[in-house]
């Protein structure tokens, strides 16, 4: 349960009745959860997410009318998500859009509870909030290991061809993803592109300086006192973002 004793509202989306009943029974066994709504296709998922607020969505991927992945990508408000599916090939995509876990059918009680425990740990650490987790954390894979990193812990990101290094407060992460793809999942009011190879978290910017030749440099207030070049085509956006 939450600190106030309230339970987390869960949306269950599953088009197959037996699987839907099983998942609902698992949810009802957990005192921290309450089944707030059920959807049987992707369009209903999107409608539910538009009309109501949920803390967690247990989403099947292969559903009529719209997939679970498409529904959550189109939703303006996203709860935490655990995907339930018989298809392992969607795992990377699921984690790329911020899923907490990915349960392969048939789902055992033990595996389900492990996923819920993970959700409770993440939600409890962040505090139960109205905004979607996508507005607070970046989810990604590093060497086949799922990582969920709060935006506030990301200092800057650096592109290395088809890979990106996420420089965070605790350590660096090597991710097999283009910087542009990760940038699309970060809030523009908190991160700014300063170079074709660098994206910085505005909260860590200590100063934006210009030398005698007109070249700009950003200095970050991290442990390494990082200095990054600012590309000429990015100067205006950098100035605008840092003076909000």
Q: Is pLDDT above 70 for 76?
A: yes
What sign has the CA pseudo-torsion 230, 205, 168, 148? negative
Measured CA to CA, the distance from residue 202 to residue 175 in angstroms comes to: 21
69, containing H or E segment: helix 68-74
Q: Could you tell me which residues come within 8 angstroms of residue 192 by beta carbon, excluding any fewer than 6 positions away?
A: 199, 200, 202, 234, 237, 238, 241, 242
| pLDDT tens digits, one per residue of 24-63 | 999 999 999 999 999 999 999 999 998 899 999 999 988 9
- Alpha-carbon gap, residue 29 to 194, rounded angstroms: 49
Among 77-86, 179-188, 197-206, the range with the most confident prediction by mean pLDDT is: 197-206
Global pTM reads 0.55
Neighbours of 118 (CB within 10 A): 16
The answer to whether residue 6 scores a pLDDT higher than 70 is no
Mean pLDDT of 217-227: 93
Q: Could you tell me which residue, 177 or 134, shows the higher pLDDT? A: 177
Q: pLDDT (tens digit, 9 = 90+) per residue, 122-140?
A: 887 655 444 444 447 787 7
Q: Does domain 8-134 have CATH number 3.40.50.2300?
A: yes
% residues pLDDT > 70 (the chain): 88
- Gap between the Cα atoms of 13 and 229, Å rounded: 47
Q: Which CATH superfamily is domain 137-242 in?
A: LytTr DNA-binding domain (2.40.50.1020)
pLDDT score for 169? 92
> Which residues on neighbouring strands pair with residue 148, listed in sequence order?
139
Q: What residue spans in the chain does CATH classification 3.40.50.2300 cover?
A: 8-134
């Amino acid at each position: 349960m939450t600190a106030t004793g309230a339970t987390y509202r869960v949306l269950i989306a599953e088009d197959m009745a037996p699987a839907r009943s099983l998942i609902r029974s698992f949810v009802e066994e957990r005192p921290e959860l309450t089944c707030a709504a059920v959807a049987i296709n992707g369009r209903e998922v999107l409608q539910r997410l538009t009309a109501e607020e949920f803390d967690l969505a247990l989403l099947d991927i292969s559903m009529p009318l719209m997939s679970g992945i498409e529904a959550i990508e189109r939703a303006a408000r996203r709860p935490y998500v655990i995907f339930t599916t018989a298809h392992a090939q969607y795992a990377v995509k699921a984690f790329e859009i911020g899923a907490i876990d990915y349960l392969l059918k048939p789902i055992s009680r033990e595996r389900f509870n492990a996923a819920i425990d993970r959700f409770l740990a993440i939600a409890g650490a962040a505090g139960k909030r109205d905004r979607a987790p996508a507005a607070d954390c970046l989810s990604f894979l590093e060497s086949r290991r799922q990582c969920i990193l709060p935006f506030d812990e990301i200092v800057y990101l650096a592109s290395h061809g088809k890979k990106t290094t996420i420089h965070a407060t605790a350590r660096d992460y090597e991710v097999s993803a283009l910087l542009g793809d990760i940038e699309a999942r970060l809030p523009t009011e908190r991160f700014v592109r300063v170079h074709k190879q660098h994206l910085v978290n505005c909260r860590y910017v200590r100063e934006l300086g210009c030398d005698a030749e007109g070249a700009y440099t950003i200095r970050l207030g991290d442990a390494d006192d990082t200095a990054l070049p600012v590309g000429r085509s990015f100067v205006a956006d950098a100035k605008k973002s840092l003076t909000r």
